[in-house]
């Protein structure tokens, strides 16, 4: 039951046969590349069991290095999002203000922090905390990582909030006004609840971005995050760097895939209830990663014409 | 147990009473060590701490009246050691801490308690690299922020190709595959790796500099300086120093345990 | 401010940032388009590979990808990326190319997803109308679908390009001396003028990214298909 | 124009002008709708019907002229405006039900929040209205789960819940599948029979003939004709109306 | 069923079944449309009208049965299928004009690319067709700049440009404002008069009565009635047809 595709006609018997041919050829090519990589790894001894053994034989790498690192990563990401959300909401609503000067200030802040790389924000947060505060050294890295992430994510979330509110059909505002609801009632009863459900998937996606960005803290600020645990593992088990990277990458991928899946599930679940006539896709420059296209849902048509 | 997790305000005493008083009264100390340097300072997967610097720290603590159970270990990464001391978050640092003039502006040193020299690490069985001059046209690895590799290029081998990494483990993968010919840093660190990976690497054994490694602590705590001086002197005098060196470095291919440095345990 | 820029060769560092961005952008565009082609192809194996690739690389921190190019490709597999092994700059050139490779591997996933969503913005009716007129598969693609898809992809690709520009800073993790690479030295030695240092870097990136956003934003608006 | 009666007309517009930029979309509009009358507004697309309708509860502010509802001039903003809007029910072409609330909540929301009715009472009242429009069984569903016809009937119930003095309809059936048009028109016809004052923009000629007291024909922002349905459909005066009827009635 | 004539029917479907997953949307469809006949397909929403229409040029592949156009079975893919589609014109509810090309280019595109006509000639031909549907002055505009009625007329011109043997219309007027319906129906009526074979899915009863030779009524994927317009509208046989007509004709 193939839904009609914009790219392909419904395949006939020849097309089906051709596709089988391509499948076979492609699998051969991929197989050859995989074989080359694996044999190189074997030759260089990277797949030798002793390099991998510590991860399964209860040597304590998990409890001593990986889990504490993971815990720090999760704490930093969670803190960053929790702080960035209200800031982003304020900035986003400020950008919709009727007063030009409020819009201008909020706009400048948002555009500035979206232009500066997170890494540079983190590095300077650290310098500033060190010079001008009495924060304990061991929290300094965490605070700097979180600060960089908050500044950046608040700006991105501001755009998400703004887009979320703007994506609602104009008819919702009009119907509410026509019933005699006041401006604040309109915002709190009608617009925000709908905007937030529309935005939830985007917010979860942003969490993925944040989680990945914490790794900058490990590489640059000696924040003892998940990625940073590689150094300690390899110091104990010789040069099993590749094994360590593979395990750590797998953890990131698993968590982020789970979050991405959750975002998608949420989106589908909300879409079912909302079944908007036409979703208006909104593109927001995110991350260190990039224009994650966010389907903001919400109707495209405005009730009036 | 992961002591790194508890935030411990144990360090604060430095400003008030000094660490000698603290050790005496509270029976507690917070000490900065390396977590990722085999032979020097290493946090093992079962939560233990080992290495020459760690044992020296234990000895000093004991001399100050603090048992192992009273020690809180803290990771002291290279760029953070001064900060940790200045902010009184550790009582002292024992982490292959070179006593450089730049650092003396911010922290006090007691030492040297050992004097490694810069040396080279190569694949076991390799015979062509016998001293730094042989590195011309070869690929040499060191770790970011250390000046050791640059000095080889400046002084011994003009056409060496330099590569910098974040950790020495990364250098080792390059030596394993043959991409890199050698790694350079203090011979004790190299010996730590050689010993941890028996039969894989060897130290060339021709140190071409002399580093002074000391215990770092607050500039303000004169009493502590003396106490640590006494502890280190006792370490040498009792022959314990030699035992610790052998415990951690004996058997590393190409590395010979040197004599204890001349007893001159306080900074100028 | 200008003395600092001169003393630390800030302009050279930013020039390296620009070069990294430029090469990585071109290569990501190519690789991302190929990936997108796989993800929308009628061949299940290609679709599966494209999906797997995108999910793996998009969910891994860029930092880890870059460090892995250095450790896995260079150190372990001995990949030299056509750099001259005898050259004194061997490692500088190799690391620069590895950074481009890592940035490309990562950024291509976002290019791929942008293109894919661009294709999705073309209503099925456009292709059906073209097929109903008797246009062949290739003609439908070339004359109707892709021209419309590319127009709606300009905006999202601009965001990807901006993100890439900022992401080049992560190359500092493998020792490439782009803008963020000289940061450490400047912070250490100019700690009394720290705000000036910050402004130099912040403004540098604002100058690099803002025009890109504005210009491509205009272009996107201009070529947008009105429906 | 009808002569002034002792009771003020429910809607009165006098010399109303409205511009969108340079576009003059309402030109010197004068109209009165006495209480209990049903007025159907006809006219080609873009003639200003929606704008006229939306001006009455100030969803579109006007540039010139006077609008009065039940004898009181239209307030410009704030509490007073919200109060007036509460008295004027409006039904849109796109239904505009609140997508995140159930049908019953859609209907009960404004009575609670604006009229400060207590929740239980508002709910009971809402169920009564849903029965009146024939969708009691849909009360706990979300708008997206209903057919277009059911949604529009719910939207009418929502407007009625405020006990409005007058109801405005802007093409209430044009977004519906043909089979659902009738069920909505039936609800509207009943409302007309019960004596509700109504201003209805629609293309449903059957409804206009059956239920309207008056037909107003607009073209290019002007009111071109204002007569009874009988007169308008059998003997339109202007060429523009004739042309329009010709187009709309042949099929 | 009409008896077989010496000339093959323009469209022939025999025992056609179509499933969407588990949903049986076309059930044993048998129908023949002789050359020159105009067949109107009626039926409630979801009854399978569009699917029937789209099956004829294989925009929807079928699961079972035979479809022939002008005596030749429908090819499965490739050049042969494209060639057949070039001979079958199709007009969609949503117009589906190529959004990035002007009206004239929309019309001239396929003759150049498929029929290999030279560009100048194709353009001249296109302008002739645009004149025939009454929108010569819109030739250089983009689809989004036109009204719905104009777009649909352009879409008809685009289909005619291929000189098709048969034209399929899938609800060509349901996305239009009421005043524009007529202008499109006029074009279609003229086409019918000129002898084009047409299969038209529509809710416009007026057009069905006026222009159709036959009315086919579908319900739940089946052809329930197949008769002349007169018979169908005055004496529908099945209850389903009666019910449908009841709903659709009251307003
Ligand atoms: N928000 C707006 N901004 C600019 N022009 C507008 C706006 N709303 C309506 N117009 C224009 O004002 C004119 C009148 O529009 P209006 O919607 O009142 O017409 P209408 O009679 O309701 O048409 P329809 O039958 O298509 O609904 C049209 O030319 C329209 O394009
Ligand atoms: N691509 C598809 N995938 C799954 N089901 C489909 C698809 N297209 C149509 N259907 C289903 O097939 C049935 C027949 O659809 P079809 O569009 O042919 O009906 P229709 O008579 O044209 O209705 P309408 O008057 O609403 O256009 C419907 O139940 C519809 O939901
Ligand atoms: Mg209107
Ligand atoms: Mg249909």
A133 — contact with chain B (CB < 8 Å)? no
Name which of D57, D94, D97 is nearest A301 (Cβ-Cβ): D94
Give the contacts of B83 (CB within 8 A, at least 6 positions apart): A130, A137, A140
Exposure string (b/e) for B153-179, b if CB count within 10 Å is 16 or more?
beeebeebbbbbbbbbbbbbbbbbbeb
Peptide bond just before B112 cis, omega within 30 deg: yes
Do D36 and D54 meet the contact criterion of CB atoms below 8 Å apart?
no
E77–A14 C-beta distance less than 8 A: yes
Nearest to B177 among C78, C173, C175 (CB): C78
Residue B259: pLDDT band with limits 50, 70, 90: confident
A10: chain E residues, CB-CB within 8 Å: 58-61
Q: Which CATH number does the domain housing residue C18 bear? A: 1.10.3720.10
With beta carbons under 8 A apart, name residues in chain A contacting E75.
12
Q: Which residues of A196-219 are buried (b: 16+ CB within 10 A; e: fewer)?
A: ebbbbbbbbbbbbbbbbbbbbbbb
Q: In this structure, is residue D124 part of a structural domain?
A: no
pLDDT for res B62: 94
CA E66 vs CA A148, D219, E16: distances in Å = 66, 53, 6
**Mean pLDDT of chain E, nearest integer:** 91
Q: Tell me, yes or no, whether E51 lies in a domain.
A: yes
pTM for the full model? Answer: 0.84
pLDDT at B4: 38
Measure in Å the smallest separation between the Cα of D116 and chain A Cα atoms.
12
Q: How do residues C42-93 score in pLDDT, each as one tens digit?
A: 888 999 999 999 999 999 999 999 988 988 888 877 888 888 888 878 888 9
CB–CB of E77 and A15 under 8 A? yes
The 10 Å Cβ neighbour count of residue D34 is: 18
Note whether E142 contacts C: Cβ–Cβ < 8 A: yes
Residue D85 burial class via C-beta count within 10 angstroms: exposed 0-12, middle 13-18, buried 19 and up? buried
Q: Dihedral sign for Cα A223, A226, A231, A233, please.
A: positive
Average pLDDT, integer, range E210-223: 94
Distance from CA of E238 to the nearest CA of D (A): 18
Which structural domain range is residue E203 located in? 11-97+166-249
- The tens digit of pLDDT for each residue in E94-140 reads 999 999 999 999 999 999 999 999 999 999 999 999 999 999 999 99
Identify whether the C-beta of residue A285 lies closer than 8 Å to the C-beta of residue C161: no
Of A22, A37, A284, the CB nearest to C43: A22
Quick check: A223 contacting B, CB < 8 Å?
A: no
Q: How confident is the model at residue A3, as a pLDDT?
A: 62
Q: Most B CBs within 10 Å: which of A57, A238, A240, as the mutation test of the B interface?
A: A238
State the CB neighbour count (10 A cutoff) for residue E35: 16
- In Å, what is the CA distance from E30 to each residue of A36, B201, E1, E222? 58, 84, 8, 9
Distance in angstroms (rounded) separating the CA atoms of residues A257 and A251: 10
d(CA E107, CA E150): 13
* Reported confidence tier of residue E157, pLDDT bands at 50, 70, 90: very high
In degrees rounded to 5, what are phi and psi of residue A56?
A: -120, -15
Ligand 2 site-directed mutation target among E41, E51, E175, most atoms within 8 Å of CB:
E51
| Strand boundaries in chain A, DSSP class E | 281-283, 293-295
Question: SS3 of D250, please?
Answer: coil
E93, pLDDT greater than 60: yes
Q: Which secondary-structure segment (H or E) carries C195?
A: helix C194-223
* Euclidean distance between CA atoms E89 and C129, whole angstroms: 10
What pLDDT is stored for residue D249 in this prediction? 72
Smallest CA–CA separation between E60 and chain A, in Å?
A: 7
| Dihedral angle of Cα E111, E114, E115, E118, to the nearest 10 degrees | 60
CA distance E231 to E237: 9
Residue E158 forms part of a structural domain: no
Domain total in chain C: 1
Phi, psi of D162, rounded to the nearest 5 degrees? -85, 5
d(CA B242, CA B251): 14
Give me the residues of chain A with pLDDT under 70, please: 1-3, 239, 272-305
Q: Number of residue pairs across A and D with CB atoms under 8 Å?
A: 86
Ligand 1 neighbours by CB, cut-off 6 Å: A 305; D 20, 23, 25, 43, 45-51
Q: Could you write out the DSSP letters of every residue in C57-106? A: HHTS-HHHHHHHIIIIIIIIT---TT--TTSTTHHHHHHHHHHHHHHHHH
The reply to whether B105 touches chain C by the CB within 8 Å rule is no
Task: Among D16, D19, D20, D218, name the best residue to mutate to test ligand 1's pocket (greatest count of ligand atoms within 8 A of Cβ).
Answer: D20
E143 CB less than 6 Å from ligand 2? no
**E47 Cα–ligand 2 center, Å:** 7
- Would you call D162 exposed, middle or buried from its count of C-beta atoms within 10 A (0-12, 13-18, 19+)? buried
- Shortest-distance ligand to the CA of residue D52: 1
Residue ranges of chain C with per-residue pLDDT less than 50: none
Ligand nearest, relative to CA of residue D54: 1
Number of domains in chain D: 1
Residue C17 CB coordination number (10 Å): 25
pLDDT > 90: percent of chain B: 35
The burial class, CB within 10 Å (0-12 / 13-18 / 19+), for A240 is buried
Which among B34, B20, B72, B10 has a CA at the least distance from the CA of B224? B20
The beta-carbon neighbor of C125 closest among E83, E92, E159 is E92
pLDDT of residue B145: 63
The span from the CA of A304 to the CA of D55, in Å, is: 12
CATH number for the domain that contains residue D204: 3.40.50.300
| pLDDT at residue A272, as a whole number | 66
Burial class (CB in 10 A: 0-12, 13-18, 19+), B241: buried
Structure tokens at D203: 């293309």
Is the pLDDT reported for residue E251 higher than 70? no
Crossing angle of helices D119-132 and D103-113, rounded to 10°: 130
Residue E69 within any structural domain of the chain:
yes
CA A234/CA B45 separation, integer angstroms:
11
Q: Is D41 part of any domain?
A: yes
B12-66 residue pLDDT tens: 444 456 889 888 899 999 999 998 888 999 988 888 999 999 999 999 999 999 9
Residues by chain with Cβ below 5 Å of ion ligand 4: E 50
- pLDDT at residue A203 in the model: 87
Residue D9 corresponds to which tokens in the numbers above?
């007309």
DSSP alpha helices (H): ranges in chain D? 49-56, 78-87, 103-113, 119-132, 148-160, 178-193, 205-211, 229-234, 239-249
Average pLDDT over residues E140-153: 93
Q: What pLDDT is recorded for position B9?
A: 42
pLDDT at position D55 is 93
């Amino acid at each position: 039951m193939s839904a009609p595709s914009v790219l392909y006609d419904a395949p006939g018997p020849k097309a089906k046969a051709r596709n089988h041919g391509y499948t076979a050829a492609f699998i051969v090519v991929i197989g050859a590349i995989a074989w080359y990589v694996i044999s190189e790894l074997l030759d260089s001894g990277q797949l030798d069991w002793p390099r991998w053994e510590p991860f399964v034989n209860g040597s304590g790498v998990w409890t001593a290095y990986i889990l504490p690192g993971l815990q720090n990563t999760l704490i930093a990401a969670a803190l960053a999002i929790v702080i960035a959300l209200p800031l982003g909401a304020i900035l986003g609503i400020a950008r919709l203000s009727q007063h030009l000067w409020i819009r201008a200030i909020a706009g400048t802040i948002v555009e500035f922090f979206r232009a500066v790389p997170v890494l540079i924000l983190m590095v300077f947060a650290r310098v500033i905390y060190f010079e001008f505060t009495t924060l304990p050294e061991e929290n300094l890295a965490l605070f700097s990582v979180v600060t960089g992430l908050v500044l950046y994510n608040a700006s991105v979330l501001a755009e998400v909030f703004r887009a979320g509110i703007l994506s609602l059909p104009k008819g919702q505002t009009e119907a509410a006004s026509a019933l005699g609801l006041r401006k604040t009632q309109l915002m709190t009863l009608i617009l925000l609840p709908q905007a937030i459900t529309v935005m939830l998937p985007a917010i979860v996606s942003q969490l993925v971005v944040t989680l990945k960005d914490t790794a900058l803290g490990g590489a640059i600020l000696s924040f003892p995050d998940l990625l940073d645990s590689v150094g300690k593992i390899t110091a104990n088990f010789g040069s099993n760097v590749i094994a360590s990277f593979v395990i750590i990458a797998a953890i990131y991928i698993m968590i982020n895939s789970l979050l991405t899946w959750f975002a998608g599930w949420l989106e589908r679940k909300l879409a079912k209830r909302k079944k908007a006539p036409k979703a208006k896709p909104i593109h927001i420059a995110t991350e260190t990663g990039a224009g994650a296209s966010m389907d903001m849902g919400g109707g495209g048509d405005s009730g009036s014409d | 147990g992961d002591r790194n997790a508890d935030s411990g305000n144990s360090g604060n005493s430095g400003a008030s009473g000094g660490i000698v008083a603290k050790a005496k009264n509270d029976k507690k100390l917070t000490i900065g060590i390396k977590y990722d340097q085999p032979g020097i300072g290493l946090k093992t997967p079962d939560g233990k701490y080992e290495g020459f610097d760690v044992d020296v720290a234990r000895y000093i603590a004991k001399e100050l009246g603090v048992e192992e159970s009273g020690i809180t270990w803290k990771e002291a990464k290279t760029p953070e050691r001064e900060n940790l001391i200045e902010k009184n978050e550790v009582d002292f640092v024992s982490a292959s801490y070179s006593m450089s003039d730049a650092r003396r502006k911010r922290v006090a040193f007691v030492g040297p308690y050992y004097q490694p020299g810069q040396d080279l690490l190569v694949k076991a069985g390799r015979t062509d690299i016998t001293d730094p001059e042989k590195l011309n046209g070869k690929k040499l690895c060191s770790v970011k922020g250390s000046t050791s590799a640059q000095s080889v290029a400046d002084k011994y081998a003009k056409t060496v190709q330099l590569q910098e990494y974040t950790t020495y483990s990364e250098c080792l993968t390059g030596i394993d595959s043959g991409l890199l010919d050698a790694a350079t840093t203090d011979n004790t660190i190299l010996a730590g790796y050689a010993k941890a990976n028996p039969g894989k690497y060897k130290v060339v054994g021709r140190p071409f500099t002399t580093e002074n490694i000391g215990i770092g602590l607050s500039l303000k705590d004169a009493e502590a300086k003396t106490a640590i001086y006494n502890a280190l002197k006792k370490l040498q005098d009792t022959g314990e120093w030699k035992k610790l060196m052998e415990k951690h470095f004996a058997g590393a291919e190409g590395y010979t345990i040197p004599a204890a440095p001349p007893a001159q345990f306080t900074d100028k | 401010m200008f003395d600092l820029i001169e003393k630390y060769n800030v302009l050279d560092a930013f020039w390296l940032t620009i070069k990294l961005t430029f090469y990585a952008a071109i290569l990501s565009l190519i690789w991302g388009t190929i990936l997108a082609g796989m993800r929308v192809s009628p061949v299940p194996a290609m679709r599966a590979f494209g999906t797997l690739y995108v999910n793996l690389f998009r969910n891994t921190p860029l930092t880890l990808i870059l460090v892995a190019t250095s450790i896995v490709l260079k150190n372990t597999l001995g990949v030299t990326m056509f750099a001259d092994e005898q050259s004194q700059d061997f490692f500088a050139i190799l690391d620069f190319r590895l950074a481009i490779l890592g940035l490309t591997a990562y950024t291509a996933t976002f290019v791929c997803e942008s293109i894919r969503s661009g294709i999705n913005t073309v209503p099925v009716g456009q292709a059906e109308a073209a097929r109903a007129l008797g246009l062949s598969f290739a003609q439908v693609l070339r004359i109707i679908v892709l021209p419309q898809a590319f127009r709606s992809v300009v905006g999202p690709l601009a965001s990807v390009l901006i993100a890439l520009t900022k992401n080049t800073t992560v190359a500092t993790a493998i020792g490439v001396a782009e803008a963020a690479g000289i940061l450490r030295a400047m912070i250490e030695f100019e700690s009394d003028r720290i705000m000036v240092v910050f402004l130099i870097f912040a403004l540098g990136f604002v100058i690099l990214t803002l025009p890109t956003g504005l210009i491509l934003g205009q272009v996107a608006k201009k070529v947008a298909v009105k429906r | 124009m009808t002569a002034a009666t002792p009771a003020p007309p429910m809607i009165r517009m006098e010399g109303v002008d409205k511009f969108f930029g340079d576009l003059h979309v309402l030109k010197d509009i004068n109209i009165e709708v006495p209480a209990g009358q049903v007025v159907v507004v006809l006219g080609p697309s873009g003639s200003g019907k929606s704008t006229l309708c939306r001006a009455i509860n100030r969803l579109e502010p006007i540039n010139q002229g006077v609008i009065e509802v039940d004898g009181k001039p239209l307030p410009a903003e704030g509490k007073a405006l919200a109060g007036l809007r509460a008295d004027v029910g409006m039904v849109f072409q796109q239904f505009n039900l609140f997508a995140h609330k159930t049908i019953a909540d859609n209907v009960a929301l404004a009575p609670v929040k604006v009229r400060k009715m207590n929740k239980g009472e508002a709910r009971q009242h809402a169920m009564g209205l849903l029965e009146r429009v024939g969708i009691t069984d849909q009360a706990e569903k979300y708008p997206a789960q209903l057919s277009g016809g059911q949604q529009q009937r719910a939207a009418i119930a929502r407007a009625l819940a405020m006990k409005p003095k007058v109801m405005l309809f802007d093409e209430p059936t044009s977004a519906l599948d043909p089979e659902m048009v009738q069920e909505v028109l039936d609800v509207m016809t009943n409302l007309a029979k019960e004596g509700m004052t109504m201003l209805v923009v629609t293309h449903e000629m059957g409804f206009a003939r059956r239920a309207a007291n008056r037909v107003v024909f607009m073209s290019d922002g002007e009111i071109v004709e204002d007569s009874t349905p009988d007169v308008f459909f059998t003997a339109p005066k202007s060429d523009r109306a004739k042309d329009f009827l010709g187009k709309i009635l042949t099929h």
